[in-house]
Amino acid sequence: MLYRNIGKPLFFKMDPEKAHHLVVGGLGRTVKVPGTEAVMRGLYGITETPDLAADLFGLHFPTPVGLAAGLDKNGKAVRGFSSIGFGFMEVGTVTPLGQPGNELPRLFRLPSDEALINRMGFNNEGAEALARRLSALKERPIPVAVNIGKNKVTPNEEAHRDYEACIRELYPYGDFFVVNISSPNTPDLRSLQHGSELSSLLDAVMSEMSRQALKHGKQKSILVKIAPDVSDGELEYMVDTIARSGVSGIIATNTTLSREGLSHGNAQESGGLSGKPLRERSTAIISKIYRQTNGSLPIIGSGGIFTAQDAYEKIRAGASLVEIYTALIYEGPEVNRRLHAGLRELLKRDGYAHISEAVGADHR
């Protein structure tokens, strides 16, 4: 109620990107004040419960709901986001070299559709700056994934070098990694999802992960984040290639270029659409991946989750974990407690003692 009555009206009067930076920067600075993390946990945190805690990728997730990439691109507020009920979070997308991203304005709200459009373009301070911030964290209460991409000026035939560079720089500091080849806002990036480019890229990525595992004495998982705007044939090929590569899992999905069913005037803006209009498409993609792999490849579901029912539909479709982003903007940090309580009720209703029992239930 605090966010809905006070925070949201204030932020929604501001330019969306300015509000974004205010929230992330403010959250990062606030936790440096002694005692504030405990206050935030008291206001928005979640007590871990056995029915929703999960172990995956060699990591423990206190809740199945995480924060998607894009909100904390530079790892400035990891402690803050860790205090408001998330079970894990992604930082990034990070590129080897810092870059400004696309021209302003590049972030747009669509309140009547409960959606966002962004064409940020991987704006970030670079891998070295992110490594410095993550290395300074004294403790990490939730797993932190590093979402990696390529610089805009890097041609696709050399893209693997950028992903390798990010892995080398950040391997000691990420709990797991995500290969972003599905943002619609970097020219030609999505073509890396298809054909021989995908298998070549993943071969290079997996080789670098193996080298770093030997160097640091610890094996870490890496996932691939895919786009929703693919045909069934393209999806089948992508999933087959990803599964054969040895990658640990898939995040489904990134934002969409579709504008179907939108009512707000900002629908004409170019960029990736997130929020409620993406919900059904991303859930359908999850279901197809689970069916194709017989549930052998873990999936993190992302796209349009606002309620516990939304999250549960993705879990029953085949997702082991889920992520939110746009819901946090529209609903505020209270959303995590509602999702947690609602998921527990849904599990109880269906007679499941643990969330893992519900994963892929619609296929049985």
The lowest-confidence range among 108-122, 194-208, 273-287, 343-357 is: 194-208
CA 65 vs. chain centroid, Å, equals 10
Q: What is the mean pLDDT of residues 4-11?
A: 86
Q: What is the pLDDT of residue 120?
A: 96
Domain that holds residue 312: 2-363
d(Cα 8, Cα 152) in Å, to the nearest integer? Answer: 33
Q: What is the mean pLDDT of the chain?
A: 95
Contact (CB, 8 A) for 262 and 277 = yes
User: Which residue in 82, 83, 182, 183 is the catalytic one?
Assistant: 183
pLDDT at 263: 96
pTM of the model: 0.96
- Strand 88-94 relative to strand 144-148: parallel, antiparallel, unpaired? parallel
Cα-based angle 265, 18, 185 (whole degrees, multiple of 5): 60
Packed helices 232-245 and 195-216: angle between N→C axes, nearest 10 degrees: 30
Look up residue 42 and give its two tokens: 């008291």
302 is catalytic: no
Contact criterion met (CB below 8 Å) for 358 and 347: yes
Q: Does residue 140 carry a pLDDT above 80?
A: yes
Q: Give the highest mean pLDDT range of 25-34, 228-237, 348-357.
A: 348-357
Cβ–Cβ < 8 Å for 300, 286: no
Counts of helices then strands in the chain (DSSP H, E) = 13, 15
The number of distinct structural domains making up the chain is 1
Q: How many residues does the chain have?
A: 364
Of the candidates 229, 359, 327, 343, the one whose C-alpha atom is nearest the C-alpha of residue 285 is: 229
Q: Are 272 and 117 in contact (CB under 8 A)?
A: yes
Question: In this predicted model, what pLDDT tens digit does every residue of 218-268 receive, in sequence order?
Answer: 999 999 999 999 999 999 999 999 999 999 999 999 999 999 999 999 999
The Cα–Cα gap between 38 and 43 comes to 9
Tokens representing residue 352 in the block: 């499941």
Give per-residue pLDDT as tens, 157-213. Answer: 999 999 999 999 999 999 999 999 988 878 787 877 777 889 999 999 999 999 999
CATH number of domain containing 79 = 3.20.20.70
* 318 dihedral zone (left: phi>0; alpha: psi -120 to 50; beta): left
Residue 1: the pLDDT is 66
